[in-house]
Amino acid sequence: MKKVMKCIFLLLSISFSFFANAIVIRHDVADKKYLAKNGDFPPLATFYIDGAHGTLINPRWIVTAAHATFCVNKGSLVKINGKNRIVANVYVNPDYTPGKSHDIALVELKEDVSDVTPATIYSNNDELGKNIWFIGIGGTGNGLKGQTIDNAENNGVLRKAQNTIIEANGPLIKFKFDRGDKALPLEGVSGGGDSGGPAYAYNNDGFQLFGISSRPEVGFNNIGVYDIIEVYSRISYFSAWINQVIQGSETTRAKITTSKLKHLPAGVTADNLSMVCKDIGIKPTTPALIR
């Protein structure tokens, strides 16, 4: 059994390395400058013991990547602000196509979150050129070598980094990992292990969510190297769909969502899904993972 699970986790690691948001940093800036704490982005939600994130956008609703929900079901636990919350329902965008587009889902909680102010969804179409932040507990490394520490080895350490939106077109926004004079002081990009993590900014009105971590652009084999292009689901494009799901009746929701993923991550099958979910899911006694 241990050998089987080791193989499954290896395949999951490969899968999450392709679809993910963790923080890979500049090689010329100390790692300690990227370290974050829970208060840096309180709306952050964590679905599994070593990663996969979402963002609280309503006292009872989390938005995340569709592909990150393969083990999120009614009764699952999700951690927000160091506390376990119970999932009531999952609503996946029916047009989600792995590696392409519509990588977005909504998770409804059983009860309102009263100790965290939700982020607001950004609904304007002027994202191009804006500087945003990423945050997550997945794998890490630096731009010269890419990711060298996976999400399990990172052991829950939270980091945040900056980047600039270089493309905002249709359902996608994109970022590039620059270096040297072109880079922001805490420039960074996605790595492996935190699919669904936020691209966000902060102003006088609070936290604003611009995007959801989906994948690196096709053609980059080494995750987190300089010049890699990161692809996020564009919140402004999906704002109408998000509002329809949250405000709609169950009849309306059934017409514009699906409750199950059509495509499971690499290495996960219908036969081993329950075993995988049991091992990676948040447990009632699991200590706070975000610190």
H-type alpha helices, the chain = 2-18, 151-154, 235-247, 250-256, 273-280
Structural contact between residues 258 and 94, judged by C-beta atoms closer than 8 angstroms: yes
Which structural domains are found in the chain, ordered by start?
A: 2-280 (2.40.10.10)
Task: Kindly report the average pLDDT of the chain as a whole number.
Answer: 88
69: Cβ–Cβ under 8 A, 6 or more apart, which residues?
47, 90, 92, 105, 107, 261
57: Cβ–Cβ under 8 A, 6 or more apart, which residues?
43, 63, 118, 119, 120, 121, 209, 242
HSE, CB side, 13 Å, CA atoms: give it for residue 138.
Answer: 36
271: Cβ–Cβ under 8 A, 6 or more apart, which residues?
none
Tokens of 124: 């304007």
- What letter represents residue 46's amino acid? T
pTM above 0.75, yes or no: yes
Which whole-number Å values give the CA distances from 231 to 100, 157, 173, 244, 265, in the listed order? 9, 23, 6, 24, 18
DSSP code string of 124-146: -S--TT-EEEEEESS-EEETTTE
pLDDT band at residue 80, thresholds of 50, 70 and 90? very high
Structural contact between residues 189 and 175, judged by C-beta atoms closer than 8 angstroms: yes
- What letter represents residue 34's amino acid? Y
Closest by CA to 25, choosing from 154, 146, 132, is 146
pLDDT band at residue 38, thresholds of 50, 70 and 90? confident
pLDDT band at residue 260, thresholds of 50, 70 and 90? confident
Tokens of 102: 């519509």
Place of tokens 């009746």: 249
Segment 58-77 mean pLDDT: 96
Segment 176-197 mean pLDDT: 90
